[in-house]
Amino acid sequence: MKNILIVKTSALGDIIHTFPIISYLKSRFPFAQIDWVVEKQGAELVQAHPFVTRTLRVNTKEWRRSPWKYRDEIKKFRHLLRVIDYDCVFDLQGNVKSALVTTQARSACKVGFGWRSVPEWPNVFFTHHRYNPVHGNNIRDDYLAIVQAHFGDAEPYSPPGILLEIPPAHVEQIHSILALPQLQKRNKVMVCPGSAWRNKQMSEASLIRFLDNVKGHLDCSFLFVWGNMEERDTAQRLTKHFHNDSQLIERLPLSTLQNLMNKMDLVIAMDSLPLHLAGTTDTKTFSVFGSSLAAKYKPKGDKHQSYQGTCPYKRTFEKRCPILRTCSTGACIRDLNNNELFSKFLSSLEI
């Protein structure tokens, strides 16, 4: 194969879950050009991937709202999409929106989800080959299974760590951060306290108790990162608590943050975008899950360990709790047993 197109438009975490496919395709077809269609919010992340040749941006929300206003932008995208006759198009979004892109791409081979797994059923009418991932696997394997099944490849694949491409000025910025006097302990631990949903986050009090225990066991410095102003306020309070050996940094581009993660000894996070970003590096991670299933979403491999909180209401789920957004307590992660959590952390260090 010479030309391959990936259609995976959003969201940021799901885009990162798809990265192993790029490594797999590059290992199988080292000279292939791999292009990617993505929403503009994720373009910076995809463009920084060293194996992606062209990043084709869409802005479907605005385009649907005012197609006449954006007609020139839509026309330009369609032209760029159809410049190349692709040997294969992989629609890994599986919805109506991605089907509209897939149908416009020039290719006699369009691959996607099967009937049992497709997120939005009309999508199946726009692909030629359809595959259903095995039930119960990690989310990264779900995407990879579609591509491997198309090539008749049943061998397990473990992608290597990658480094996203960043400009020289950002490399210097990382060096400056690592040289800060507050970060000179033997172990550098990045802590990502936030997540997209409150019920995916530890309470601040529990997190402080956990990090106190971590610091009591490891000779470490903490580097706190954040994604929005609420998370920044939390990170500021955490930095103040660990004032002698901690540092709060300003928000970095995701590609730069990923390179900084690669310089850490450990990343501690919830089920969040930073966790999945850290999972693309060679750095160890320890993650805390509650209303989402660690087996489904945590990074793969022994160097990535996690703790799964339990639901006091005895709810079970295969991916995410059905009341993730509405549960009034979030007790599965906000009322953790700190002794049990730290015991799991200590056992993870032995692996």
Q: In terms of Cα–Cα distance, which of 75, 82, 113, 97 is closest to 5?
A: 82
Which pLDDT value is given to residue 103? Answer: 97
**pLDDT value for 244:** 87
Tokens of 174: 């990382």
Point out the residues of the chain with pLDDT beneath 70.
351
Predicted confidence at residue 351, as pLDDT, reads 63
Both tokens of residue 322? 């059905």
Helix (H) or strand (E) holding 97: helix 96-104
* Per-residue model confidence (pLDDT) at position 264: 97
CA distances in angstroms from 220 to 72, 211, 250, 333, 350, listed in the order given: 53, 10, 21, 25, 17
Classify domain 3-150 at the CATH class level.
alpha beta
331-342 in b/e burial notation, b at 16+ Cβ within 10 A? bbbbebeeeebb
Q: Do 169-349 and 3-150 have the same topology in CATH? A: yes
pLDDT at 349: 86
Extents of the domains making up the chain = 3-150, 169-349
| CATH assignment, 169-349 | 3.40.50.2000
